[in-house]
Chain A
Amino acid sequence: MKYLVLCLTLLITLIFTGCSHTTELIKNYPPPNETDANYSVTYYIHADADYLYHTPDGDRVSGNSEVLTTAMEVGEAAHSGEVFIYHQRPEKKLLGLFPQRKSRLFHYKNGQLIRKVKYRHPDKKEVFLATEAQLINQYRTRNRTNDHQNYFLYFGHEIPSESDKSYNRSLPGIEVNVVSFAKGIQNFLLSDRDRFDLVVLSTCNNGTPAMAKLLMPFTDVMLASPQNLHLSHIDSERMTFLEMEPEISPLQLGHSIAEQTFQRLERTVHTTITLALYEFEKVRNYINSLASVTAANINTDRSVQFNDNVDCAELFFPDSASYRNGVETWYKPARFGRKSERSAHSGWGCKPVLEN
């Protein structure tokens, strides 16, 4: 009888602990020398898929763990800012029944880790980034300086133009595509008038007219890769420049991040390297025309989304410089392959036109 009571107690405890989708592990606020936040940095580190890669020494890295380490260093250095780091990990159930909170939110304020939250997604078909947006709106400080800046950094696989159920291995019901992504990160802003000073997309193939057009209404500068990007991702250590050089502009910061990343990749990978920094104030003047031109010949065959991008200029504007204003590119062709002789890139990525 007492064993039955013990088992039932254990079962009820497991049920109740599984009900809430968040748990705070660390609660240490307000920090001792709290000041208004000069800037907010949000990292979204996707880990619910295969992110295994090997360093030049042959060591294995998985789950975007190195990105997380760097993000935490940025958080610890953010003495005048606020940093949110989401590490979205595969969701599992204990004994196949009790949902576990495997994802983590690390909240830094004035260089201190003030909150560590375990969370899961209570609605397996929720809007992309809904839970994460809810958390930031719950925990963020309202005490900001007048010239407060917003930065968003996304690390993951290519965000597809059409929903791909395999994007989140354990959450196939969440629709992930460029539209849901743009709507999702907009919910991280404090108000409709708030904007991102810089959005960094550390993914393959998202330096595209479509993505630029979607982010432009609420973003000033975007750093992305028009084609493939190695899984070692874009380096983000230069985010610490927000402390060392407070007057740095988002464009200068984006340039510095791209420069550091390009120099590392140039030394370590043999595949194509393309990075592009988009200044939307200038791109705005022609984005509708560019989006229209590049959408004109879109192949309706869904299989094309599994192909890598090519330079849009190859397909749509080979001799024109019209669509390069406001775009700074870093490019190195692959060491091997059919395009190893190319020397430049427009900064815009397009899916190839498949031959019938």
Chain B
Amino acid sequence: MKTLYTILASILFACTIQTAAFAQSADVTETFKKHFNETVQKVQDTDKADEKRAILNESFNKMLTAIDRIESKATLTEDEIANLNSYKLDLTEKLNELNGLDGFDEIMDEDLDDFSEYSQDFMEQANRTITIGVTTALLILIILLLL
């Protein structure tokens, strides 16, 4: 009986380790995509341009803040840093375009729905995935930031 308990405990321990190891590699882009899809739905659900604009601004800023958190708290490789920087630049460009900064004309009210879909399309391209090593705690923090 004692041997059976030992074997079962070992199996349970192996499961726990495996689960923890899997959680060490978080897919940041998937988290962002899910978040931004919700943003697009919210933008399309309201008729007011100033609300649409506020929703988009908040969403871009949340993702940028989340990337800043990752960069400051996670141990990243050179490639991961470069990948995140590229993603951050792209998000900043979208934010600037939304608000008419850095040489852009501000997005017109009637184009905000299309701009939100354009931004989502941009994230859902086949050029990159950002899978980085973060702790489960940091992943939870990122998800909470995006709520």
A contact set with B: CB distance below 8 Å: 3-4, 7, 49-54, 58, 60, 93, 95-97, 156-158, 164-166, 169, 202-205, 228-231, 233, 269-271, 302-303, 305-308, 334-338
Contact = CB atoms under 8 A, between A and B. Distances in A.
A97 B79 CA distance: 30
B78 interface: yes
Interface of B: 1, 3-4, 7, 11, 14-15, 17-18, 21, 25, 27, 29-30, 33-34, 37, 40-41, 78-80, 82-83, 85-86, 93, 97, 103-104, 107, 111, 114-115, 117-118, 120-122, 124-131
Contacts of A306: 79, 82-83, 85-86, 128
A338 B96 CA distance: 11
Give chain A's interface secondary structure class.
loop
Per CB-CB distance, the 9 closest pairs between chain A and chain B, nearest first, are A96-B18, A204-B127, A303-B82, A270-B118, A53-B124, A306-B86, A50-B129, A204-B126, A271-B121
Given A4-B4, A49-B131, A158 B122 contact: no
B4 A158 contact: no
Contact of A52 (B1, B17, B34, B86): B34
A350 to B, nearest CB: 14
Give chain B's interface secondary structure class.
helix
Given A4-B4, A270-B118, A306-B86, A97 B125 contact: no
A156 B126 contact: yes
Contacts, number: 127
Contacts of B125: 204, 228-231, 271, 308
Contacts of B121: 230, 269-271
A308 B87 CA distance: 11
